[in-house]
Amino acid sequence: MRQWRELVLCGWLLANVAAAHAQPDANALFQEHCASCHGGDRFGAIGPALLPDNLGRLGKTGAEAVIRGGRAATQMQGFADRLDDEQIKALAAFVYSPPDDTPKWGEAQIAASRILTPAPPLDKPAYSADPLNLFVVVEGGDHHVTILDGDRFEPIYRFASRFALHGGPKFTSDARYVFFGSRDGWVTKFDLRALKVVAEIRAGVNARNIALSRDGKHLAVANYLPNTLVILSAHDLSVEKIMDAVDGSGRPSRISAVYQAPDRDSFIAALKDSPEIWEIATSPLAGAQYAGFVHSHEKAMVEALPSSSGLFALRRIEISEPLDDFFFDPGYRHLIGASRDGGRAIVINLNVGREIATIPMQGMPHLGSGVSWEREGRRVVAIPHLKEGKISVIDAGDWKVVRTIATAGPGYFLRSHEDTPYVWADSSASPTSRDTIQIIDKNTLDVVRTLRPAPGKTTAHVEFDRSGRHALVSVMEKDGALIVYDARTFEEVKRLPMSKPIGKYNVYNKITFSEGTSH
């Protein structure tokens, strides 16, 4: 009997020790603590979607910190008083795992998500600032947007945004409205005159970016999940067309990005998982012209989508490799693209629908942040590298590298303006010089000044005001700042506290497609 009791006790102890060391059931924890806000499928509800691509650069360590301590200025509460470290780590790992089911987000789900909150009609803005010299500042630290007076450098209005806005906002040509896209697929239309959100819709589960057509009537949303390109009416964000991202061979793909090509009256999109570029007509005339491209080259294929007018006709261009990122020359005749893990960039002539050049470019070129200008009578394009401290300057006539400029470290952004002789470059991807801004002479291609606006803090994304007289720099930290510099003397003019200002966008420069900024 005694021996039997000892065996029972031993078994009980072993069972409890095993239970103590058992891995937490992450899915059960998620359903108990997270599903009510983020959806039982992790696709999002009141809170954002909790999927690897939607979480951006937060990382598992950052996710653990948010689960433990919550997020300021949001409804996200901390769980440190209810979950232990092992449970928190398990939850963080869980939200960084791919979903078991492919998200289904079609026209019915998109339409059901639409929210309309019209603003009262106004004949003039609700403020005295120049509406063409406003800056829209995206603050990623607490997910807000600040509307900034670009003359006085004073905030006019601040409002809460959707989680993790991604890609640059797009402006109507009359400077009346601005559109935002979030990683969760939410598209927001904001009235810059009334200072009010007037419409929102969720066009996907995970979106890359948005583009606005030249006439301001159509908005394209590039999605990772599901594999779609969604075209919305810019008027009320209603669905106009959903295009399944399937290549010419029938293989599904994510979409790397979509951009407006105003000179072509089209959207240009790249498939991330297939070597194919799409050109989508945003006017009936452009759609009708696509038929002529079939005879230009056998790799340019046209597919007329159901439309009696030719609007949204699709032209497919086969290329040698999938593209993650791309850039256009000023006339939108050429597209320069690269994959993130490749050692080269390719040049595609969009008129004939084929590759015409290859440019050796090691170090992961960040083509979406390229700038161009006239130098010695020739157009050049400058592109930063994400893995090497250098900038490639390329002749846009023969597609040869003119100069490789050594920088303090790898960076994300280049910015300039027609009325400045300089290009400003950051080194924000560098572990040792992420606080450095370097200023490069556009004629000599020499570094003429190095700034450290906030020593030890990540500093990036320069943007100029309408005149090119001032350059605004972001200190991308939770307790960050927007720093205004005199673009001629490089002296600091003003410093505005902000919560991780990840990007700022000048209305005039965007609607005029300034050669010194991204589009």
* pLDDT at position 12: 47
Question: Of 95, 112, 127, which one is at a domain's C-terminal end?
Answer: 95
Each residue's pLDDT tens digit, 121-177: 888 898 999 999 999 999 999 999 999 999 999 999 999 999 889 879 999 999 999
Mean model confidence pLDDT for the chain: 87
Better pLDDT: 10 or 276: 276
The pLDDT-based confidence of 8 (bands split at 50, 70, 90) is very low
Phi and psi, residue 391, nearest 5°:
-125, 130
Between vectors from CA 471 to CA 467 and to CA 476, what angle results, nearest 5°?
A: 145
* pLDDT at position 81: 75
Question: Of 41, 71, 95, which one is at a domain's C-terminal end?
Answer: 95
Each residue's pLDDT tens digit, 187-218: 999 999 999 999 999 999 999 999 999 999 99
Residues 104 and 111: their CA atoms lie apart, in Å, by 14
Better pLDDT: 387 or 468: 468
Q: What is the CATH number of the domain that holds 469?
A: 2.130.10.10
144-149, strands of its sheet edge to edge: 154-160, 144-149, 134-139, 501-506
Better pLDDT: 407 or 166: 407
Cβ neighbors of 304 (< 8 A, separation 6 or more) are 287, 290, 310, 313, 314
Each residue's pLDDT tens digit, 276-291: 999 999 998 776 676 5
Is residue 441 in some structural domain?
yes
Question: Of 69, 95, 121, which one is at a domain's C-terminal end?
Answer: 95
* pLDDT at position 366: 85
The answer to whether residues 282 and 267 touch, using CB atoms and an 8 Å cutoff, is yes
Q: Is 7 left (phi over 0), alpha (psi -120 to 50) or beta?
A: alpha
Residue-number span of the structural domain to which 489 is assigned: 407-519
The answer to whether residues 403 and 377 touch, using CB atoms and an 8 Å cutoff, is no
Domains in the chain, number: 2
pLDDT at 88 over 90: no
The answer to whether residues 222 and 271 touch, using CB atoms and an 8 Å cutoff, is no
Each residue's pLDDT tens digit, 18-57: 444 567 887 777 766 886 677 667 766 556 777 776 665 5
What sign does the dihedral 504-340-301-335 (CA atoms) show? positive
* pLDDT at position 351: 93
Residues 394 and 345: their CA atoms lie apart, in Å, by 11
Query: What's the pTM?
Result: 0.85
Is residue 219 in some structural domain?
no
> 3-class SS at 401?
strand
What sign does the dihedral 378-278-189-237 (CA atoms) show? positive
Q: Choose among 62, 66, 39: nearest CA to 50.
A: 39
Each residue's pLDDT tens digit, 250-308: 999 999 999 999 999 999 999 999 999 999 999 987 766 765 554 444 455 555 444 44
Phi and psi, residue 358, nearest 5°:
-125, 135
* pLDDT at position 295: 44
Q: What is the CATH number of the domain that holds 67?
A: 1.10.760.10
Between vectors from CA 17 to CA 14 and to CA 20, what angle results, nearest 5°?
A: 150
What is the token pair recorded at 293?
């491209």
Phi and psi, residue 51, nearest 5°:
-130, 155
Comparing 84-88, 334-338, 380-384, 416-420, the range with the smallest average pLDDT is 84-88
For the segment 361-388, the average pLDDT, to the nearest whole number, is 90
Each residue's pLDDT tens digit, 308-330: 457 999 999 999 999 988 899 98
**Count of Cβ atoms closer than 10 Å to residue 351 Cβ:** 15
Is residue 462 in some structural domain?
yes
